[in-house]
Amino acid sequence: MPSETRARRLANRIREELAELLQREVDDPRLKGVIVTDVEVDRELAYATIYVSVMGAEVQRDEILHALEGSRGFLRSQLAARIEIRSFPQLRFRWDLTPDRGARVDELLRYLRDEGGTSEEDG
């Protein structure tokens, strides 16, 4: 069984190579602006779970995930050609909610700050 360090190194390499592939070699317009936020490889190196997000305007998550699923074979073969490993992991795509949660926290903090300022002025 490979070590956690090896799995983490592979995950980092997949993240770097996949980001480049999405930016330069994938022609699907639905995938423009997609950011690979994280990759997790299981200890057996059988699966790579890839977390993606898009910055900016409101997007259709399902449409982006569907496009990634449709490109899975191409992406896996391209990654396997770039990263030498006996058996390349299967790719699974997930939407990363972290940017959405961060934006919501910022919104709540701004609201609390504005409310706090209003009550101080009144009192």
Whole-number Å distance between alpha carbons of 31 and 28: 6
Q: Which CATH number fits domain 4-96: 3.30.365.10, 3.90.480.20, 3.30.300.20, 3.40.50.300?
A: 3.30.300.20
Where do the domains of the chain lie? 4-96
Q: Which residue has the higher pLDDT, 116 or 70?
A: 70
Q: Which residue has the higher pLDDT, 110 or 121?
A: 110
pLDDT surpasses 50 at 119 = no
Helical H segments across the chain, by residue range: 4-24, 61-70, 72-82, 98-122
**Residue 14 φ/ψ region, left for φ over 0, alpha for ψ in the -120 to 50 degree band, beta for the rest:** alpha
The residue-averaged pLDDT of 29-42 equals 91
Could you report the per-residue pLDDT of 44-82, keeping only the tens digit for each?
999 999 999 887 656 688 899 999 999 999 999 999 999
Please give the model's pTM, rounded to 2 decimal places: 0.77
